[in-house]
Amino acid sequence: MISELAVPLGLTLAAGLATSVGGLVVLRKAQPSRVFLAAALGLSAGVMLWVSFVELFPEAVDSFTAAYGDSSARLYAGVAFFAGIGLIAIIDRLVPAVVNPHEPVVDGASESTGLAPAALRKMGLVTALAIGIHNFPEGFATFVSGTEDLNIALPIAAAIAIHNIPEGIAVAVPIWQATGSRRKGFWWATIAGLSEPLGALIGALVLLPFLGPATMGVVFAMIAGVMVFVSLDELLPTAVATGKHHAAVYGLVVGMAIMELSLLLFQ
């Protein structure tokens, strides 16, 4: 039994740790710039928005269709999507104002980015949380497909790994800027990716016998809502606050293109 699970778990671990590749950007880059930060954050927002609307939300609709039929699937997916937005919005409102990044250009801002360290730290940690939540069901999906058919699991794992790289960048860069430590940025990017094999392990031990189409529909739609909120409320405003809004927009478009390319290559 353990040998049968080794390959699916290994695929899931490899896909999740692709965030470490994004974290390596922090270790190798000599000095950050506002352009680099804006582009990196915009790129991650593009990835998160594209995967939410093009991949996760349609998956939620398909799951609800399998559970309840065509007539109700879109409604249920929409409700779960906005429930995800509501959940992360409540969490955001509960964060003390002193570390809230909605006013990022304040006293004590970094000379290279124009952003306050507290704002960058909070944004990086919230991004890591959102990515971790997103990666959890991805890990479960990769694991399940690996137990059924490796021909399906391999392209899924590859696609997830590709879009995990810019996600790792988006976690590592603000943590680096807030703390001055490249290694902390790298390790937080790695931690965000480890939620993927964690999702696989929990799925293998606990959830697999109980998860049906309706539950997966709720999970996919809510995670899409969380990612959209984080992109619009955290990543893009902070990227624009650097003063390099064109770099943020270019990064956004490139992130979308990378995600679409990964879906085309490995669909």
Q: Which two tokens stand for residue 111?
A: 């000379």
148 is in an annotated binding site: no
100 is in an annotated binding site: no
246 is in an annotated binding site: no
Q: What is the dihedral of CA 14, 159, 209, 82, to 10 degrees?
A: 120
Residue-by-residue DSSP string for 209-258: TT--HHHHHHHHHHHHHHHHHHIIIIIHHHHHHTT-HHHHHHHHHHHHHH
**Residue 106 host element (H or E):** none
* Dist. CA 183–CA 186, nearest whole Å: 5
103 is in an annotated binding site: no
* Dist. CA 228–CA 222, nearest whole Å: 10
Angle (CA) 26-169-90 rounded to 5° is: 130
* Dist. CA 207–CA 201, nearest whole Å: 9
167 is in an annotated binding site: yes
Q: Which two tokens stand for residue 23?
A: 């974290």
> What b/e readout covers 59-89, taking b as 16+ CB neighbours within 10 angstroms?
bbbbbbbebeeeeebeebbbebbbebbeebe
260 is in an annotated binding site: no
Q: Which residues are annotated as a binding site for Fe(2+)?
A: 135, 138, 164, 167, 196
Instruction: Report the binding-site residues.
Output: 135, 138, 163-164, 167, 196
Binding residues for Zn(2+): 138, 163, 167
